[in-house]
Amino acid sequence: MSSHGDPVPMTSRKAGALKGVAEVPGDKSISHRALILGALAVGETRITGLLEGQDVLDTARAMRAFGAEVEQYGPGEWSVHGVGVGGFAEPDQVIDCGNSGTGVRLIMGAMATSPITATFTGDASLNGRPMARVTDPLALFGTEAVGRAGGRLPMTIVGAVEPVPVRYHVPVPSAQVKSAVLLAGLNAPGQTVVIEAEATRDHTERMLAGFGAEIVTEVTDEGRVITLTGQPELRPQTIAVPRDPSSAAFPVCAALICEGSDVLVPGIGLNPTRAGLYETLREMGADLTYENMREEGGEPVADLRARFSPAMRGIEVPPERAASMIDEYPILSVVAAFAEGETVMRGVKELRVKESDRIDAMAKGLRANGVTVADGPDWWTVTGMGPGGVPGGGFCASHLDHRIAMSFLCLGMATKTPVRVDDGGPIATSFPVFEELMTGLGARIERSNR
């Protein structure tokens, strides 16, 4: 089983104005998919801007274990020689996906309809997360899964020898489940249909089309009906990965709460299935503008400019927006603490099964810093204390969750007294340059003793 090594305690203290240009790394979701689809194409896929965070590096290693050649040829520049749909070899070792739910669930889907067996594991966070949401639909193809109680990793997947195509209504709003079924459908004959009631991130669909698969999405009364024709020959691609809106959220939100800040975050992917946070911030009264809007590699992209916003108000975040900002609720709750009035977040049950129970982790840490938070099974509220109004001084547990660690470090940039985080190590899974990028803007983050 993998581990993150020794905990890295960190302290964040009041910084004053954050200023400058924040070049955040490549999109994590798109990076995983570029490696996996590259491995399933015939020939060489070239990728630039790949996120070199631990989650994605674990997926690169997994693709090698299934027989693809995966090489780095420069910073963020990678080459994948794929083996073709149905061409995966049986790995001769356990596949360790580290902290990554996206990695393990997408790879399980990608191998589920090949006549091979693979065993998956991860760190303590990943091994506690539910996998039945993926193995249930994979069973419809003829795939078998044997894991620990409650459908947890470590888990062995026995690929279907004669897969049949599937029609599946995704019961929870999850791009990982949708993508696992679509990737499994690649090696099934005929048409695999996935129906989602709520739109989730559509990078898999966009990228499959780019690789030459026949895939059609229709918007109906049932939701989005996605039909994939199986057994295509995927053509290798050149992929430029846009910068990650979920990572951009940290410098953007930190700028909104730190007095005098003015930060430009260029080249951020603003796919509508990912951009809910920015819409929400603008509704709260954030001084956030999109500049230079354009399209790159099939994804909408803009430069984001965020300035200190002393007049933000709490709002009720529309529940139907949840899927488009699901990873951003932790940092939104930090911004909400500096707004006037209450921010209400409903329809967010999925936050309880991420890298940590994110409602619980944020509620405890915010309370430790003097903020009032109420929560229930699928909702939570944060009572704002106004600009500069949060006392701070708390000690926060990150629960092996990168976004929890980064959210509390951003909190400390604007609280009256410093905020301590027990372990910033997991930040390397998605945003390895977070510390240097934020200190470059003027943040005061230090590695500290507990």
User: Which active-site residues does the annotation give?
Assistant: 327
By CB under 6 A, tell whether 102 contacts ligand S3P: yes
- Considering only residues 138 through 157, tell me which ones interact with ligand S3P, judged by CB under 6 A: none
By CB under 6 A, tell whether 187 contacts ligand S3P: no
**x/- letters, 14..53, toward ligand S3P (CB under 6 A):** ---------------x------------------------
Least spacing, CB of residue 105 vs ligand S3P, in Å? 7
The full 3-state SS of 199-234, as one line of letters, equals: CCCCHHHHHHHHCCCCEEEEEECCEEEEEEECCCCC
By CB under 6 A, tell whether 175 contacts ligand S3P: yes
By CB under 6 A, tell whether 327 contacts ligand S3P: yes
In contact, 62 and 90? CB cutoff 8 Å: no
Tell me whether residue 103 or residue 163 sits nearer to ligand S3P (CB atom). Answer: 103
Tell me whether residue 174 or residue 356 sits nearer to ligand S3P (CB atom). Answer: 174
**52, 120, 116: which is closest to 88 by C-alpha?**
116
- Considering only residues 347 through 366, tell me which ones interact with ligand S3P, judged by CB under 6 A: 350, 354
- Cα dist from 121 to 42, 98, 267, 353, 389, whole Å: 28, 7, 34, 17, 43
Q: Which residue has the tokens 């290693």?
A: 61
In contact, 239 and 48? CB cutoff 8 Å: yes
Least spacing, CB of residue 204 vs ligand S3P, in Å? 7
Q: Is the dihedral of CA 121, 127, 129, 135 positive or negative?
A: positive
Candidate ranges 11-19, 120-128, 168-176, 262-270; the one touching ligand S3P (CB under 6 A): 168-176
Tell me whether residue 11 or residue 174 sits nearer to ligand S3P (CB atom). Answer: 174
Q: Which residue has the tokens 């996906």?
A: 97
Fill in the DSSP letter of residue 45: E
- According to CB under 6 A, which one of 11, 31, 143, 176 is a site residue for ligand S3P? 176
Least spacing, CB of residue 276 vs ligand S3P, in Å? 12
CA angle (293 as vertex; 290, 299 as ends), nearest 5: 115
By CB under 6 A, tell whether 407 contacts ligand S3P: no
Helix (H, G, I), strand (E, B) or coil at 345: strand
Tell me whether residue 177 or residue 445 sits nearer to ligand S3P (CB atom). Answer: 177
Candidate ranges 10-18, 113-121, 174-182, 185-193; the one touching ligand S3P (CB under 6 A): 174-182
Tell me whether residue 322 or residue 419 sits nearer to ligand S3P (CB atom). Answer: 322
Fill in the DSSP letter of residue 243: B
By CB under 6 A, tell whether 174 contacts ligand S3P: yes
Least spacing, CB of residue 327 vs ligand S3P, in Å? 5
By CB under 6 A, tell whether 237 contacts ligand S3P: no
By CB under 6 A, tell whether 199 contacts ligand S3P: no
Q: Is the dihedral of CA 359, 417, 386, 268 positive or negative?
A: negative
By CB under 6 A, tell whether 326 contacts ligand S3P: yes
Helix (H, G, I), strand (E, B) or coil at 429: helix
Distance CA 264, CA 253 (A): 12
Tell me whether residue 99 or residue 192 sits nearer to ligand S3P (CB atom). Answer: 99
Tell me whether residue 362 or residue 414 sits nearer to ligand S3P (CB atom). Answer: 362
In contact, 121 and 3? CB cutoff 8 Å: no
In contact, 26 and 76? CB cutoff 8 Å: yes
In contact, 131 and 353? CB cutoff 8 Å: no
Please confirm whether the linkage preceding 154 is cis (ω < 30° from 0).
Answer: yes
Distance CA 100, CA 325 (A): 18
Helix (H, G, I), strand (E, B) or coil at 325: helix
In contact, 2 and 121? CB cutoff 8 Å: yes
By CB under 6 A, tell whether 259 contacts ligand S3P: no
CA angle (334 as vertex; 373, 380 as ends), nearest 5: 35
Least spacing, CB of residue 28 vs ligand S3P, in Å? 7
Least spacing, CB of residue 179 vs ligand S3P, in Å? 6
Least spacing, CB of residue 27 vs ligand S3P, in Å? 9
By CB under 6 A, tell whether 429 contacts ligand S3P: no
Least spacing, CB of residue 121 vs ligand S3P, in Å? 19
**138, 94, 141: which is closest to 120 by C-alpha?**
94
Tell me whether residue 204 or residue 227 sits nearer to ligand S3P (CB atom). Answer: 204
By CB under 6 A, tell whether 201 contacts ligand S3P: yes
Binding site for ligand S3P (CB under 6 A): 29, 102, 174-176, 179, 201, 326-327, 350, 354
